[in-house]
Amino acid sequence: MKRSSSQRAALVGRRTALVGRRTAMGLVALVLLAAGVWSSWGTAHHVVLAQGREHGTLTVTECGEETCTGRYEPDATSAARARVSVERSVAAGKGDRFPVVVKPGTDVVVRTGVPGLLHAWMPLGGAMVLAGFVIGGGLRMPRTAWGVGTAGAALLVATFVAL
| pLDDT single digits (tens) 85-97 | 998 876 778 888 9
Based on the structure, what is the number of domains in the chain? 2
Using alpha carbons, select from 121, 123, 101 the residue that is nearest to residue 112: 101
Could you tell me if residue 44 is inside a domain? Answer: yes
Interatomic CA distance for residues 116 and 159, integer angstroms: 9
On whether both 93 and 133 belong to a single domain, the answer is no
Interatomic CA distance for residues 142 and 29, integer angstroms: 14
On whether both 42 and 57 belong to a single domain, the answer is no
Using alpha carbons, select from 151, 159, 144 the residue that is nearest to residue 128: 151
What CATH number is attached to the domain comprising 91? 2.40.50
Could you tell me if residue 5 is inside a domain? Answer: no
pLDDT at 76 over 90: no
Interatomic CA distance for residues 26 and 134, integer angstroms: 8
Interatomic CA distance for residues 65 and 156, integer angstroms: 22
Region 135-150: mean pLDDT is 96
Interatomic CA distance for residues 86 and 46, integer angstroms: 13
On whether both 127 and 141 belong to a single domain, the answer is yes
Q: Return the H-helix or E-strand segment holding 82.
A: strand 81-87
- pLDDT tens-digit map of 11-58: 888 999 999 999 999 999 999 999 999 999 999 999 998 888 889 999
Could you tell me if residue 14 is inside a domain? Answer: no
Domain range for 71: 53-111
Confidence of residue 134 (pLDDT cuts 50, 70, 90): very high
Could you tell me if residue 70 is inside a domain? Answer: yes
Could you tell me if residue 139 is inside a domain? Answer: yes
On whether both 44 and 118 belong to a single domain, the answer is yes
**What's the length of the chain?**
163
pLDDT the model gives residue 158: 96
Could you tell me if residue 86 is inside a domain? Answer: yes
Using alpha carbons, select from 41, 63, 156, 46 the residue that is nearest to residue 99: 46
Q: For helices 122-137 and 5-48, what crossing angle results, to 10°?
A: 170
pLDDT at 130 over 80: yes
Interatomic CA distance for residues 75 and 115, integer angstroms: 19
Listed in order, strand segments (DSSP E) in the chain are 55-63, 67-74, 81-87, 97-102, 109-111
pLDDT the model gives residue 39: 96
On whether both 104 and 70 belong to a single domain, the answer is yes
On whether both 107 and 117 belong to a single domain, the answer is no
Do 99 and 112 meet the contact criterion of CB atoms below 8 Å apart? yes
On whether both 76 and 155 belong to a single domain, the answer is no
Domain boundary, last residue among 95, 111, 127:
111
Do 33 and 131 meet the contact criterion of CB atoms below 8 Å apart? yes
Do 91 and 163 meet the contact criterion of CB atoms below 8 Å apart? yes
